[in-house]
Structure 1
């Protein structure tokens, strides 16, 4: 995969719904079945994955979440990242990066970094000044976030279960924008 041939697009609610039962569900299943702690237990069925994406479609339409998708030269979905805007009036300056997913066959080539940079730029363009995220402690994602200038806040032991149901520590990060 040549990352120069990757195109990253914003998905609106209609495009999310259109891909929910297919490519988007398959991407989420790929991550969970590979062991990523992204909120689901294995085995993750297509119906459950698709239902989650359909919920995200509603958030995209409400303007509370933005979804960016990366496509390869042949049009295959290779990854996604989402930005959820904080809802409370005193938090509207910030957002949460969530579900940075890269297909296992496309990992290790800079696609996660490009998706993260796209979300950061989108957040800046939307006037956000602070981003936060969490990830499983010790996961490969931690290296990406640290090298992209994110600051580690701390770790909560046993915060979320991995796909097998085993409680794992979660580490929180933030990044000031602008």
Structure 2
């Protein structure tokens, strides 16, 4: 089993540098996580720092896995803010460092985020990912339902427009 911890607001602030390194690794490896190359550590840290208010007030939960005291994987759960959407949440920024892949970290992180969603009253999860990516395979084999593909939805890190698959997962007690 992997040691995965939810970051408190203070731990999040202290972990921004390592989270930025993880995000830079993901973009450098071609992951379509919302950023274009070149993407440097300073820009990644700024993006993470901008998430601090949401982490502090609980709208965004962030979990990390560590290897030799370094963050090697992360996932975030964004709770819906609209009153009519409190039953749903979004999985965002599931990332595993290139050196830590193949250890089941993606599935372990997703399981923890899914359980936390249920505990927060969200039984419908949503996410999107690049069609044909390794991440898409994780979701397709992990009980997620693809409900559509949008052509040329987002740019990959090199700017090439890529199709995006949209997924949902209904959660019930014991399913997470």
TM-score norm. by structure 2 comes to 0.95
User: Secondary structure of the equivalent of 1:42?
Assistant: coil
State the partner residue of 1:120. 114
2:79 aligned residue: 85
Matched, 1:169 2:126: no
Residue 118 of structure 1 deviates from its aligned partner by: 0.8
Q: Is the 8 A contact 2:86 2:121 kept in 1?
A: no
Task: State the 1:13 CA deviation.
Answer: 2.1
Distance (Å, rounded) in 2 between the aligned partners of 1:146 and 1:166: 24
Q: Quote the residue 1:149 is aligned against.
A: 143
Superimposed CA distance per residue, residues 96-153 of structure 1 (whole angstroms, 9 cap, x where no aligned partner): 0000000001112211110111110111111111000000000011111111100010
4+ residue runs over 6 A deviation: none
Q: Please say if 1:110 is aligned against 2:104.
A: yes
Cα distance, 1:26 vs structure 2: 0.5
Q: CA deviation at 1:88?
A: 0.8
The alignment yields a C-alpha RMSD, in angstroms, of 0.9
**1:58 aligned residue:** 53
Task: Name the structure 2 match of 1:12.
Answer: 8
List runs of 5+ in structure 1 lacking aligned partners. Answer: none
Q: CA deviation at 1:57?
A: 1.6
How many equivalent pairs are there? Answer: 172
Q: Report SS of the residue matched to 1:132.
A: strand
SS in 2 for 1:77: strand
Q: Is structure 2 residue 28 aligned with structure 1 residue 37? A: no
Q: Deviations over 1:40-91 (max 9, x none)?
A: 111111111001111122111121110011112x222110000001111110
